[in-house]
A and B are shown apart, each in its own frame.
Chain A
Amino acid sequence: MTAIDAPAPVPARQRRGFLARLLGSEYFVLWLTVGYFLVLLPFLPTLGTPANLVNLLSNMWPLLVVAIGQTFVMAVAGIDLSQGAVMALTSTLAAALLATGADPAVLAKAPIWGVLLSERGGLLDGRGGVGLALGLGLAVLAAVAVGLMNGIAVARFRMPPFMVTLVAMMIAGAFAIWLTQSENIRNLPEQFIALGKGDIVSVYFGARTESQLPRREVYPLVTYPAIVAIIVAVLAHWLLERTVFGRQVIAVGANRRAAEISGVPVVRVLILAFALSALFAAIGGLLYAARLEAGRPTLGSGTFLLDVIGATVIGGTSLFGGKARVIWTVFGVAFFVLLSNSLNLMNLSSFHVDMVKGAVILGAALLDVARTRLTRQALP
């Protein structure tokens, strides 16, 4: 009786085979990204041109930095809606402190006029590398302060992260706009701008005979944003996977009470997670500002934040906490950026882009439901 009733477990597992292994794989989203790229390439050759690849990567770096911040907050079962506003605040403050000059016709009515910024430039302009570092540092510090306050409200006062960070988004965003009365701050110093697009290693695909390389055919391969993003990603990965703090982050997200009883300093971990999210958002904001060559108080508004959350969740990080990896977010961002890029190349209008994004988020959610079911089944 038993022999008939119970199927041998081994063949059952083999039957699920390849597809199940692929679905269950940590690298699923990476394979998806690669697959998507390869499938699309024959139909959309521009996708693979050096110019587009450079464009793809340069779109990826700042988003990646911000999404990694979101990953930490999601790991503790939170959400950070204030990242966009934090980016705006950082970019505006840094630009105000470091601008080499400003147009009084545009900015004279701003409250920072005459305080941080004047016709002759920002407070820290013309003080060399130290000034630059100080300016960027102060702007990042302001961002981290916002993150700390988010964390304190969530951890100490048990306020829902959604509302806390929504309010922080309102206040920080409005504050940035108030600072400049909604004007962009231009005239950033060269070194700052270099942060956005400066290249270290470039590739030239043109003819070798020309003595003067045509700028259009020099493709920046290793850029400052790339270096910054990769350093951030490696450090964040290492922080989350390898350090005591990182393991505590996951523990708090998985079961806050069990973590507390096991000696995890829950309040501190929560506060730091939100602070990290703001820190990474700030770095991302600086990268965007450098690329735009302006401090923009409306940076990161609109649906930017939904892109960040979408990319993070697609990577596989759970909104309910306890399940997060930086590497997943790297894949999620890569997929999201490739998707947007390919849709743009297809000359699709923004509505198509929106709809495909929506569909992809849904698809990812459905896959996650399926994957969870699958892994549950696979267990003895």
Chain B
Amino acid sequence: MTWMTPLDFAVRYTAVLILALIVVIFGIVAPAFLAPGSLMSTLKAASFIGIAAVGMVFVLLTAGIDLSVGSAMYLAPVIAGIAMQRLGIDVAPALLLCLLVGAAIGLVNAILIVRLRIVPFIATLAMLFLVRGLGIWSTGSRQIDFPASMRAFGQSALFGIPMPVIAFAIVAAAAHIVLAHTAFGRHIYAFGNDAEAARKAGLPVRRMQAAVYVICSTCAALAGFVLISQIGRIDAGFGEGREFDVITAAVLGGASLFGGIGSAVSAVLGAVTVQAVKAGLVYAGVNLYLQPIVQGAIIFLAVFLDGLRAIRMEKQARRSIRPLA
């Protein structure tokens, strides 16, 4: 109907544009970055934060936040590891246990937020401490070594695609189907857009809000498990501060902190972008200590464009009384 201005276009497809720009720039600066092997390893490295970011998108869509993911991705694999050590269970039941622990953490978050009405920021901040404390208690702050089967799982591949990438793809695809093609998913968007209207429309608001926290923690647990299966051990500092990486990836991919905007694609784009920048900087031989500065600048740019989008939408929403001359 009408043509988008270049600015409108940039504002709409910010995340894709930034990723494309990064790939092109690093491709020119360091062509090795574009070799199939290195692209795959970038993707593999992005899987860890990416899986957790997919879960975070659910929470962000409801205008919530989950600061406890870094602790969840520590505690859940720890419990699984202890079970493997002591009970000698196999990888598959360990994974299941890990996911269950994740879901349980999410359930506690959900109870605090939905039932006791504590602000998500504070509730999950407290859980950040509590869950990590529980993890350190159960390990005696020692490192846990997983049996060899764990690493074998971590190093496995299907048709040459490494396991973490497959896990990431499955999680992202499942999340996309849930968010875009189920009533539950669309209700999350509705709730994030206008919680009061969603309540009035008779949507199952409380159940929905609880579910997103369970999903988020479960994804974090899976992310932890996937990464730990690469390394074969987990130490006391694992996952610390990762909540910020996860939130950053989701927001960078286009999810809004104010709810209602974002998708599974956001999480994928964001996590891949962050990892592409990291890898690109390494390939380009940038000083290790300067890399976070460049990363920060790129994230700033993305958030800045998101802010512009909000301001533009606000201007459009201002009602027009008479036709423009």
Contact = CB atoms under 8 A, between A and B. Distances in A.
The answer to whether A and B touch directly, with their CB atoms under 8 angstroms apart, is yes
Interface of A: 81, 153, 157-160, 162-164, 166-171, 173-175, 177-178, 181-182, 302-303, 306, 309-310, 313, 319-320, 349-359, 361-362, 365-366, 369
B295 interface: yes
B130 interface: yes
A174 B290 contact: yes
A173 B241 CA distance: 14
Interface in B290-325: 290-293, 295-297, 299-300, 303-304, 306-308, 310-311
Given A171-B292, A174-B293, A352-B133, A365 B126 contact: yes
Contacts of B65: 162
B133 A171 contact: no
A159 B289 contact: no
Question: Most chain-A Cβ atoms within 10 A of its Cβ — which of B65, B121, B295?
Answer: B121
Contact of A319 (B117, B119, B292): B119
A359 B126 contact: yes
Given A162-B65, A174-B293, A351-B133, 5 more contacts: A158-B311, A170-B292, A310-B125, A313-B122, A354-B133
Interface residues of B, number: 49
B118 A362 contact: yes
Contacts of A350: 133, 136, 141
Contact of B117 (A313, A349, A361, A369): A369
16 contacts: A157-B308, A158-B307, A160-B307, A162-B247, A163-B251, A164-B303, A170-B293, A174-B289, A174-B293, A175-B293, A320-B119, A354-B136, A358-B128, A358-B129, A361-B122, A362-B126
Contact of B122 (A159, A168, A319): A319
Interface string B266-302: 0000000000000000000001011111011101100
A306 B67 CA distance: 10
B257 A163 contact: yes
Contacts of B257: 160, 162-163
Contacts of B244: 81, 166, 169
A361 B126 contact: yes
A313 B121 CA distance: 11
B240 A302 contact: yes
